[in-house]
Amino acid sequence: MGAYVQCLTLVEYITHMLSGEVCILYFRLNSYPAEFEIKIMYNSVIMTATDWAQFILALLSIGAIIVGAIRWYIKVQVKPIVEAVEDIRAETKTNGGTSMRDEIKSIKLEQENAREKRKATSDKLDHMYDVLLDFVSRSK
């Protein structure tokens, strides 16, 4: 049903995997140097409930690591953007004179006051011009 093949390198394991055979890699930890054993199963996969549980848990662990890495990467990338948005919000809210919005309001008020002064000055110059024309026309 299945055959054991002892492999001293991982390359032999990968070769068996690439040939389309379903393989399980075992480590013999009590021998030195460490040897690999591969159980190759032909045509049918023989796995017990424990094997399936280990396989599923391994897949879930790998998935959790990948999801955690993606969440960490997004968090690292989004954090500067969130800080920039908070800085912009702080500058656009009134806070008593130091925000950009307060500065723009004060500039707008200064422009309105300058416009009113220019109009008043223009009205005075028009009146003086009328008085001068009136004086010149009387003196002839």
* Residue 94: φ, ψ to 5°: -70, 140
Residue 49 has pLDDT above 90, yes or no: no
β strands within 1-137, DSSP E: 2-7, 22-28, 35-41
Q: Are residues 70 and 106 in the same domain?
A: no
Provide the 10 A C-beta neighbour count for residue 38.
19
CA 111, 117, 122: angle at the middle one, nearest 5?
A: 125
Closest CA to 102 of 111, 92, 112, 110: 92
Q: How confident is the model at residue 117 (pLDDT cuts 50, 70, 90)?
A: very high
Q: Are residues 21 and 32 in the same domain?
A: yes
Q: Of 46, 61, 77, which residue is a domain's last?
A: 46
Length reported for the chain: 140
Q: Of 12, 30, 46, which residue is a domain's last?
A: 46
Higher pLDDT, 42 or 48: 48
Question: Do residues 7 and 37 touch, judged by C-beta distance below 8 A?
Answer: yes
Q: Give me the percent of the chain exceeding a pLDDT of 70.
A: 65
Please tell me the chain's helix, strand, coil percentages from 3-state DSSP, rounded to the nearest 5.
65, 15, 20
pTM as predicted: 0.38
Cα gap 80→23, rounded to integer Å: 46
Which range among 11-20, 47-56, 65-74, 85-94 shows the weakest confidence by mean pLDDT?
Answer: 11-20
Higher pLDDT, 101 or 122: 122
Q: Are residues 5 and 41 in the same domain?
A: yes
Question: 99: domain range?
Answer: 93-139
Which range among 31-35, 64-68, 76-80, 92-96 shows the weakest confidence by mean pLDDT?
Answer: 31-35
Residue 114 has pLDDT above 80, yes or no: yes
Q: Are residues 54 and 86 in the same domain?
A: yes
Q: Give me the percent of the chain exceeding a pLDDT of 90.
A: 30
Question: Do residues 25 and 5 touch, judged by C-beta distance below 8 A?
Answer: no
Residue 48 has pLDDT above 90, yes or no: no
